[in-house]
Amino acid sequence: MGWQWHYGWLARWTRARLVDPFLLILSRGAEPKHLAMSAALGITLGVFPIYGITALLCGFAVALLRSKCHAPTLMLANLLATPLELSLILPFLQFGEWMTGSEHLLLSTDVLGKALTLQAPHEVLLGISHAFLGWAVASPFILGSLYGVFILLFRFLPQKSGGEPVHQYFLAHQQQKNGELFTSCKDPVA
């Protein structure tokens, strides 16, 4: 019979937190290129190597781009990128150190404790600038590759219900669940 969504708490959580918001976004008729750019930008800004600033960066991006991006998709992608952000801080730091030819920053609990209390020594501030440099150089490549993947994903999602776009299929499915009769999402021909 196959795997179904109602088995297990992880499946329910995934459906409620990831799949349903994504389908809701698609049901509102956003264009694939806006969704792809917003998701790619959200993840790219979401892996910014300074923890806690990503939501602010995404807010600036939404204010700057206005109608050229889809704010809910950008913020959802930013939220989903948080584990990536934490795992990419060290690679961005090392990449920035490699580009500048600097010595590697030795991270210890004393150094991190001083950084958290805003008594950061010069080395920590230099390390943060190296991580920022690594991200700044890598981010155009991250953005471009993610956009390429997402544009394919959003344009070529499985076409269901006789070739209708996915968001129209989702609306039809919701109408069927609510007991409404679904004939077509297209305008009737007079």
Q: Based on the structure, what is the number of domains in the chain?
A: 1
Residue from 138, 147, 149 nearest 37 by CA: 147
Q: What tokens were used for 76?
A: 């959802």
Residue 184: inside a domain, yes or no?
Answer: no
Q: What are the angstrom distances between the C-alpha of 137 and each of 89, 92, 172?
A: 14, 9, 44
CA dihedral 142, 57, 47, 167 (to 10 degrees): -70
Q: How far apart are CA 16 and CA 180, in angstroms?
A: 23
Q: Is the pLDDT of residue 56 over 80?
A: yes
**pLDDT single digits (tens) 65-118:** 887 888 888 988 998 898 898 889 889 988 998 999 888 777 667 766 666 666
Three-class DSSP category at 14: helix
Q: What are the angstrom distances between the C-alpha of 88 and each of 10, 25, 72, 91, 139?
A: 25, 28, 24, 5, 12
Q: What tokens were used for 163?
A: 């070739």
| Weakest-pLDDT range from 1-15, 36-50, 52-66, 101-115 | 1-15
Give the pLDDT band (50/70/90) at residue 183.
Answer: very low
Q: What are the angstrom distances between the C-alpha of 49 and each of 39, 75, 118, 145?
A: 18, 17, 17, 19
Q: Which domain holds residue 164?
A: 9-176
Q: How far apart are CA 170 and CA 135, in angstroms?
A: 37
Burial 41-79 (b: 16+ CB within 10 A, else e): bbbbbbbbbeeeebeebbeebbeebeeebbbbbbbbbbe
Residue 99: inside a domain, yes or no?
Answer: yes
**Are 70 and 25 spatial neighbours (Cβ–Cβ below 8 Å)?**
yes
Residue 190: inside a domain, yes or no?
Answer: no
Residue 139: inside a domain, yes or no?
Answer: yes
Residue 76: inside a domain, yes or no?
Answer: yes
Residues with Cβ within 8 Å of residue 133, at least 6 apart in sequence: 95, 96, 99, 100
Quote the pLDDT of residue 188. Answer: 43
Three-class DSSP category at 164: strand
Q: How far apart are CA 180 and CA 186, in angstroms?
A: 16
Query: pTM (2 decimals)?
Result: 0.68
Residue 166: inside a domain, yes or no?
Answer: yes
Quote the pLDDT of residue 156. Answer: 72
Residue 23: inside a domain, yes or no?
Answer: yes
Give the pLDDT band (50/70/90) at residue 3.
Answer: low
Residue 1: inside a domain, yes or no?
Answer: no
